[in-house]
Amino acid sequence: MNSLIEINNLSTYFESGAGTVKAVDDISFRIREGETVCIVGESGCGKSITAMSIMGLVDEPHGKVVGGQIRFGDKDLLKISKEEMRRIRGNDISIIFQEPMSSLNPVITIGRQIMEPLMLHQKLNKKQAYARALELIELVGISRAEQIAASYPHQLSGGMLQRIMIAIAISCGPKLLIADEPTTALDVTIQAQVLETLRQSKEQSNMSIMLITHDLGVVAEMADYVIVMYAGKIVEEGDVEELFERPKHPYTRGLLKSKPIIGQRAEQLYSIPGQVPSPLELTESCYFHDRCESCIPICRIRQPKLSEVAAGHLAACWLYEEEAEA
């Protein structure tokens, strides 16, 4: 499979009164055509800022992509004009967020909101755009399309709204859909419907998906390839089966251990002790060392590099480095 997008050594920093926050710190990965890549990690690990960096939507001037390359086709998305980036956002790369309400206009009908980008980017006339909007509503599994098109956002449930967001996001036939915690705000049963909608949309168009989640249940269901982020860095990555069956990094193991099992009571659930370190407190040591069950002396001194631990499986952990023995 060909690479659709390649992120090389991407770093995105924020300047705050207290210092520099390295929200994303020198990460590299790629997404192939038709592939679903999940980015997983606890809150504050840099997942959303990775997405915003790709979309060219980092909050300036506090935040800035300070280094790297984002290769998409023959372009580097970090080098093109704002105008060109806007065109790519309308046509080739779409994004949906956790809260569909925050992306929809409360006083405009659903139908109109699906039609607008179709008229703007695909140059459809009103009648064509309306017909296409109805098709898209049905495509994301919602019946009574005409009635839905005439409704306002507050008249629909969260799960329906998220499916409408998917309809809008796929309406331009994007090559890449970025979904940032798309099901986090939804009930479990509704979550399943939304994930199914994503999967079907993907199958129909062979688009790639970059799915951000802190939920390993979602990862297990959706991912081809998994990237685990911790404190702005990639700490482990690999194919989904490999990663779930042979997780290497103690952080990934902790995340897997804390994955809820159906029927288990909440109080029986494991959680990794401690918290993601504040980005202002990061030192030369492994960022995970003080939460790690397997910490060895070198972990406190130097940060491990991401390296191959099995074919196509990378981890950044001293437990797998020969150098650590010395």
Can you give the binding site for Mg ion, defined by CB under 5 A? Answer: 48
Site string for ligand ADP, 276-295 (x = CB under 6 A): ---x----------------
β-strands 93-96, 3-16 pairing: unpaired
Within 10 A of 76 (CB to CB), how many other CB atoms are there? Answer: 14
Residue 45 lies near ligand ADP (rule: CB under 6 A):
yes
Residue 21 lies near ligand ADP (rule: CB under 6 A):
yes
Beta carbon of residue 56, minimum distance to ligand ADP (angstroms, whole number) = 15
CB of 47 or CB of 202, closer to ligand ADP:
47
| Assigned token pair, 80 | 């093109």
| Assigned token pair, 301 | 């001194």
Binding window for ligand ADP (CB under 6 A); candidates: 45-53, 125-133, 187-195, 252-260: 45-53
The Cα–Cα gap between 167 and 204 comes to: 13
Burial classification of residue 211, based on how many CB atoms lie within 10 Å of its CB (0-12 exposed, 13-18 middle, 19 or more buried): buried
Residue 152 lies near ligand ADP (rule: CB under 6 A):
no
Residue from 31, 38, 44, 111 touching ligand ADP (CB under 6 A): that is 44
Residue 63 lies near ligand ADP (rule: CB under 6 A):
yes
Q: Which DSSP letter does residue 207 get?
A: -
Beta carbon of residue 178, minimum distance to Mg ion (angstroms, whole number) = 11
Residue 62 lies near ligand ADP (rule: CB under 6 A):
yes
Residue 43 lies near ligand ADP (rule: CB under 6 A):
yes
Beta carbon of residue 12, minimum distance to ligand ADP (angstroms, whole number) = 8
The Cα–Cα gap between 290 and 168 comes to: 44
Cα Dmax for the chain: 71
